[in-house]
Amino acid sequence: MTSETLWYANRATGAISLILFTVVVLLGIAVRLRTRLPGLPRFGTVTLHRTLSLSATAFLALHIALAVLDSYVDITLTDVLIPFVSDYQPLWLGLGTVALDLMLAVLITSLLRERVGHRAWRALHWLAYASWPVALIHGIGIGTDTGTGWMTWLTISCVAAVVAVGGIRLAHSVRAARRTPAALLRTAEGARS
């Protein structure tokens, strides 16, 4: 494979990873809100979230492998796993490494969910929310397509979708927090009567 082919494949897998991880985040929020997607039973949303998470991880692994294989830039396995040590664009590549490390923690704990327990798994699963924007910033900073129209619109669309659905998730959390004290008060008053 030529260096040019590797470069194009790396760009493509980076863009596809952005799309897939965006959909994974959106589905994760849908699962948390117990949203049923049209045409799927409720458990279908969870299954789709898990399946796309694994697919996104596979594309991410391919993206990383292509970056390491491409001889145009010297990216080592150390650069992939340890943030900010690369000679090539250490900040932007380091952010990608941070995002990868966070996603590895989410992936490993998800695969070992039964062993680590639901509480620990859920706490570590919040790292996915941190990983997505870090990976996005990595792509904006290091991506050679960042200034192109199609990549700009893709990035804006992904950010808008996550912000919109994240806003819905936040609104649900605020509503639930407001109801909880009132429900506790009603329960306490009912117990006294």
Q: What's the per-residue H, E or C state across the chain? A: CCHHHHHHHHHHHHHHHHHHHHHHHHHHHHHHCCCCCCCCCHHHHHHHHHHHHHHHHHHHHHHHHHHHHCCCCCCCHHHHHCCCCCCCCHHHHHHHHHHHHHHHHHHHHHHCHHHHCHHHHHHHHCHHHHHHHHHHHHHHHHCCCCCCHHHHHHHHHHHHHHHHHHHHHHHHHHHHHHHHHHHHHHHHHHHHC
Tell me which of 27-36, 47-56, 158-167 is least confident: 27-36
Asked if residue 56 has pLDDT above 90, the reply is: yes
Tell me which of 11-15, 77-81, 122-126, 158-162 is least confident: 122-126
Q: Alpha-carbon distance 32 to 112, whole Å? A: 20
Asked if residue 103 has pLDDT above 80, the reply is: yes
Q: Report pLDDT for 115.
A: 92
Q: Report pLDDT for 17.
A: 96
Model confidence band, residue 176 (pLDDT cutoffs 50, 70, 90) = confident
Asked if residue 61 has pLDDT above 80, the reply is: yes
Q: Alpha-carbon distance 75 to 14, whole Å? A: 15
Q: Would you say how long the chain is, in residues?
A: 193
Under 8 Å between Cβ of 142 and 90:
no
Model confidence band, residue 188 (pLDDT cutoffs 50, 70, 90) = low
Q: Alpha-carbon distance 58 to 184, whole Å? A: 46
Asked if residue 51 has pLDDT above 70, the reply is: yes
The highest-confidence range among 32-41, 85-94, 123-132, by mean pLDDT, is: 85-94
Q: Report pLDDT for 80.
A: 94
Q: Alpha-carbon distance 144 to 56, whole Å? A: 21
Q: Alpha-carbon distance 23 to 149, whole Å? A: 21
**What predicted TM-score, i.e. pTM, was given to this entire model?**
0.86
Q: Alpha-carbon distance 28 to 132, whole Å? A: 12
pLDDT digits (tens, 9 = 90+) for 69-89: 988 888 999 999 999 999 999
Mean pLDDT over 39-62 rounds to: 91
